[in-house]
Amino acid sequence: MSYVQGGHYNIIFLDINLPGVGGVEIGEIIRQKMEDEMTHIVYISQQAGYAMELFKVRPLDFLIKSVNREIFKIKTILYC
C-alpha cells in the first residue's frame, strides 16, 4: 500500500531538488493536505541555505550532501 493510499511511514528522506515537485512542496503536502504530523521528514540538499525555508514543514533533520554513510546509519538508528 502506498502512502497516498493510506499507508504509513515512520520516516521519509526527501531531496529538496527533485524534478517536477520539489521536496519542500512534498513536505507541505504531507503536513497540510494529508494532515500527517507523525511521519518524520529528513531533508537532504547540497545547499545549507534551505534550512530556514524548512521550518514551516517541521522536519526532523536537514542533512547536507554528501552525506557520510556512517553518520547516516547513526542518525537512522537514533530516529527509529
pLDDT digits (tens, 9 = 90+) for 32-54: 988 999 999 988 888 777 767 77
How far, in Å, CA of 17 to CA of 76, rounded?
Answer: 21
Q: What is the domain-level CATH number for residue 15?
A: 3.40.50.2300
Model's pTM, two decimal places?
0.70
Out of 6-15, 32-41, 71-80, give the one with best mean pLDDT.
Answer: 32-41
Residue 21 is predicted with a pLDDT of: 87
Q: pLDDT band at 27, cuts 50/70/90? A: very high
Task: Specify the number of domains making up the chain.
Answer: 1
As given in the structure block, the three cell numbers for residue 5 are: 493510499
Establish how many alpha carbons lie within 13 A of residue 77's alpha carbon, considering only the half-sphere containing its beta carbon: 6
Residues 45, 65 contacting (CB under 8 angstroms): yes
Q: Which element (helix H / strand E) includes 23?
A: helix 23-28
The verdict on residue 3 lying in a domain is no
The verdict on residue 62 lying in a domain is yes
The verdict on residue 6 lying in a domain is no
What residues form DSSP beta bridges with 11?
40
pLDDT at 56 over 80: no
Range of the domain at 55: 11-79
The verdict on residue 60 lying in a domain is yes
